[in-house]
Amino acid sequence: MSSATTPAVRRLQTRDLFVLARIISKSTDELQERIEGVLNRKLERDQEAILLGLVVFESGIRQAATELQGWLASMADPELSEEDFGQLPLDAPLEMVEKIMEQEQESLPGFLVKLQALMAKGQSLFSVTSSSSGTDGHPITSSDSPPDDSGN
């Protein structure tokens, strides 16, 4: 396929942070392990960026296809409707991901690492505070439970 049929892509912007976070949050621990595996391979920055993009893309297809398709349509320059995006040749989304990764090879790997770490920290904080402690921060015990209406 010639790149003339693949739309140009815009640079990443702040609004993309939220979409990428949503796509990554729908992924499994496997994605996080794969991201770490790519980062541990000590690749050249351009190879690392492309590989990270493909790992996130592949996970997005499996677990957040609607969000991924909408995001890629919004990354086209000029922006495409999701319907027009759906009419692109089969390999256009992959070429778009590759273009994005090439453009963002200096910033994207670090961004993904920070985003992943922040999301993991948030998840662990949420699970600790929501499942094991009361509003005062102390563990919940049966004596902390409110009385039931049956008089027991």
For the stretch 82-122, pLDDT in tens is 999 999 999 999 999 989 988 888 887 777 777 777 777 77
Give domain status of residue 130, yes or no: no
Two tokens at 48?
A: 């690392």
Under a CB-based contact definition with an 8 Å cutoff, are residues 101 and 52 in contact? yes
Structural domain for 15, as ranges: 8-120
Residue 145, pLDDT > 90, answer no
Give domain status of residue 108, yes or no: yes
Give domain status of residue 30, yes or no: yes
Provide the pLDDT confidence category of residue 127 given band limits of 50, 70 and 90: low
First to last CA, the chain: 73
Give domain status of residue 65, yes or no: yes
The tally of domains found in the chain comes to: 1
Residue 76, pLDDT > 90, answer yes
Give domain status of residue 141, yes or no: no
Give domain status of residue 144, yes or no: no
Q: How many residues does the chain have?
A: 152
Model-level pTM? 0.67
Give domain status of residue 82, yes or no: yes
